[in-house]
Amino acid sequence: MGQDKVTFKDLTVNTQIAKMQMQAQYADVLSQFVTELKSDPSIVSVTIDKVENNTSNAQILVSLTATLKHAAFASEGQQTGTSINQSVLGP
């Protein structure tokens, strides 16, 4: 892990939320990341789900959930081609 950096341990994103688990050596680095995430125009809200202080390796582990603004093009399911748009797209 790079010094003064946030390392993502897990990242899950769908059309409504982004769940992140990250770690850093310093609380201010994580705080700055959360502040910048909250100011992103595509984010509705940010919830801190869990904070762990691992003293054995001097790391702070944070789990959070960011609620995303609804995008007009977002789809809950996988889109498949119909015969109409397949003919436009080609074989």
Q: Where are the domains of the chain?
A: 7-70
The correct CATH number of 7-70 out of 3.40.1010.10, 3.30.470.10, 3.30.70.2830, 3.30.465.10 is: 3.30.70.2830
pLDDT of residue 47: 96
Q: What are phi and psi of 44, to 5 degrees?
A: -85, -45
| % of the chain with per-residue pLDDT over 70 | 74
Q: Are 37 and 22 in contact, with CB atoms under 8 Å apart?
A: no
pLDDT reading at 3 higher than 60: no
Residue 17 predicted with pLDDT over 50: yes
Distance from C-alpha of 25 to C-alpha of 91, rounded to nearest angstrom:
53
Please tell me the pTM assigned to this model: 0.70
Mean pLDDT of 66-80: 69
Q: Single out the residue of 26, 58, 63 nearest to residue 46, CA to CA.
A: 63
